[in-house]
Amino acid sequence: MKNIYVIVLLLSSVTAACKKSKIHSSSSVIGKWKLVSYSGGVAGFKHHPATEDVVLSISIDSQLTVFNSNVSQSTVRYVTNEHYAFSSSYNAPGIQLGSERWQLYSISHGLRDTLSIGWYNSPDFLYPEYERIK
């Protein structure tokens, strides 16, 4: 009888551990992200607050949907690669949106999770910064 309690305890521990390891971890791009600022462009690396209500919804089934003021603007398929080779000497996390070329992405953690997406080695590109919507 004592063995049954141990087996039940082990099974419940394994089940609880499996539930905690979902792909929706804070290091994943999966989730909803609100545009909070952007920087870069032809004028230089000035930091600007977001002026529009833009949200990215990134789903586990490789769909990225852009919403502006709660209205769907577009949906594309995406692919991520943790070690994409941007050049022969530079590997970094990359994301490809639709048929666009691969872009860098980074997720930083602190008081809030932020997602930045931008072109590798392209100073004229606007680099958006998104905050994870909890």
Report if residue 16 sits inside a domain. Answer: no
The Cα-based distances of 11 to 7, 42, 107 in angstroms read 6, 58, 34
87: its two tokens: 């050049």
Q: What is the pLDDT of residue 8?
A: 35
- What domain range is 88 assigned to? 25-132
Q: Examine the pLDDT at 10 and tell me if it is beyond 60.
A: no
For 37-64, the pLDDT digits (tens) are: 888 776 566 667 887 899 999 999 999 9
Report if residue 14 sits inside a domain. Answer: no
Q: What is the pLDDT of residue 46?
A: 67
Per the structure, the count of domains in the chain is: 1
Mean pLDDT over the full length of the chain = 76
What pLDDT band is residue 27 in, cutting at 50, 70 and 90?
A: low
- Higher-pLDDT residue of 20 and 91 is 91
Say whether pTM exceeds 0.75: no
Report if residue 62 sits inside a domain. Answer: yes
Of all residues in the chain, what percent carry a pLDDT higher than 90?
29
Report if residue 9 sits inside a domain. Answer: no
CATH of the domain at 128: 2.40.128
Within 8 A by CB and 6+ apart from 36, the residues are 49, 50, 114, 129, 130, 131
104: its two tokens: 């860098």
Alpha helices in the chain (DSSP H): 2-20
Report if residue 8 sits inside a domain. Answer: no
Report if residue 18 sits inside a domain. Answer: no
Q: What is the pLDDT of residue 30?
A: 92
Report if residue 11 sits inside a domain. Answer: no
